Homo-oligomer: A and B are copies of this chain.
């Protein structure tokens, strides 16, 4: 709740005030949030300092505290704002086959974006158990978008009769994110196109019950 990026500036949300003097430069908000995410991904929550964020954004510390009441609030907003970079659900690939749809999502920018999200996730991992708000923001911005896309592909495949209607769409949608997260965070290996494609062919499609050539 509370919603969008620049609107979350908790301090002074009273609207009716005429506010005189120089106006706040709202274009700095996304720049600062992006810097915060960079530092967060590089050093983790506890390693991140407000000075680092301010320096990277070429802003003063006071400017940050004028907009966010604390480090925790800044991080929460930064994580929540990753949601806006989401994939447009109206403009998804539709190749006519489940495999085609899944493979169409395996593109360099998508992988890059995913790795960044995972680094942020690793940076806040220890906080998630203690901050329900942050956990919710991370879930909505980092976890759910990927699963949502996959769910759409599987539902389409069911409608086409390509896979059985009885499959657990939610579980299938999570396989790919889970394998990627494990590979990056636990195994420390990079995610490349080949890994993703073989995961699709060797795990996801068999689990989905695709009537493939090798089911003799």
Contact = CB atoms under 8 A, between A and B. Distances in A.
A169 B122 CA distance: 27
Interface of A: 43-47, 119, 121-130, 135, 139, 142-143, 167-168, 171-172, 174-175, 177-179, 181-183, 185-188, 198-199, 202-203, 206-207, 209, 214-215
Nearest to A178: B182
Given A46-B46, A47-B126, A178-B178, 6 more contacts: A44-B46, A122-B125, A124-B126, A143-B187, A175-B203, A177-B186
A214 B175 CA distance: 21
Contact of A207 (B119, B168, B206): B206
Contacts of A130: 43
Contacts of A121: 186
11 contacts: A43-B126, A46-B126, A121-B186, A125-B125, A139-B186, A139-B188, A142-B186, A168-B198, A178-B182, A178-B183, A202-B207
Contacts of A171: 198-199, 202-203
Contacts of A125: 44, 122-123, 125-126, 185
A130 B123 CA distance: 11
Contacts of A119: 129
Most buried by B among A142, A185, A186, A214: A186
A109 to B, nearest CB: 22
A179 B175 contact: yes
A131 to B, nearest CB: 11
Contacts of A178: 178-179, 181-183, 186
Contact of A44 (B126, B181, B182, B209): B126
A141 to B, nearest CB: 12
A1 to B, nearest CB: 18
B182 A177 contact: yes
A174 B189 CA distance: 13
